[in-house]
Amino acid sequence: MDKRLLAQRFRDRLTRLMLREGCHRAAFADRLGLDRSALSLLLATDSARLPRADTLLQIASRMGVSTDWLLGAGEEDQIAPPSDAQIAMEENATYHNIPLLMRWHAEAAGTKIRYVPHRLPDLLRTPAIVAYEARQPEGADQREYEYIARHLDFKREPGTDMEVCMSVQSLENLAAGDFPWDGLAHDVRKAQLQHIIRVSDELYPSFRVFLFDERHVHTVPYTIFGTHRAAIYAGDIFLVLNQKEAVSRMQKHFETLIRHAVVQPHDFVRYVQSLEKTMTETPARQTVLS
């Protein structure tokens, strides 16, 4: 077969895979384990370039297709998903698996991310809250928690659109110093609310928060990355759903939370301001975390 025709078929198949994954070139290159420049060369329409054998095998393995299919053999109408695309588990042994979360957010850049946090959204946490939730030992280096808080600020990636659903009670308890915030000083909790107000106001409307009443609806914490991945937070592991039908059902669950929202995004900052203004100076109750 003519090399140019073979290269054209390879480009067509590679483009179909990129469309299936629903991501832009940078994220797709990361999934393939290639440099962005290498992927651009393979997709260039004015080139007869074909990948090396090891690169071809790597792409086939990561995408769950055969090398023959990549080179144009077979004319199936649909690309079968990778064999491991149904469900997976990812370790989260530390407070936050930052490299994993950064990769998922990068891969979902340019799509909508829908997020139900555990207590507070990652990008709205102050270093003091990170240290508290990570059970900071006496005399710990505060720079570690500043690093974590800074790298959890995923929303500042260009093109990211994020919706958050969280409970009213998580913020009310923070303002009141009730569980799980009963070990935090008043000024730390007040500073956290002020940080939420400042960042939320800065990022709106591409960052939108809905508040629901958890006395009426219940949920586990999870994040939906575009249309191809949902990750359910379970402490030291993430339960990862990659099947489109499963992700679609998680989307519907998120929409149910939105329908039950008692505070809409355009009122969110005003609501948090009202909580911050009504905070009274009371000693924080000390809680021993085992």
More confident residue, 279 or 172: 172
Whether the predicted pLDDT of 29 surpasses 50? yes
Token code pair at residue 191: 């500073």
- What's the pLDDT score for residue 150? 66
pLDDT at 50 over 60: yes
Q: Given pLDDT bands bounded at 50, 70 and 90, which one contains residue 62?
A: confident
pLDDT of 146:
65
Model pTM?
0.66
Percentage above 90 pLDDT, the chain: 38
User: Which residue matches tokens 């067509």?
Assistant: 12
Interval 237-257: pLDDT, tens: 899 998 888 898 999 999 999
pLDDT at 259 over 80: yes
- The token duo for 37 is 């420049």
Of the given ranges (41-55, 77-91, 99-113, 240-254), which has the lowest mean pLDDT?
Answer: 77-91
Q: Return mean pLDDT, the chain.
A: 82
Q: Is the pLDDT reported for residue 75 higher than 80?
A: no
222 close to 234: Cβ distance less than 8 angstroms? no
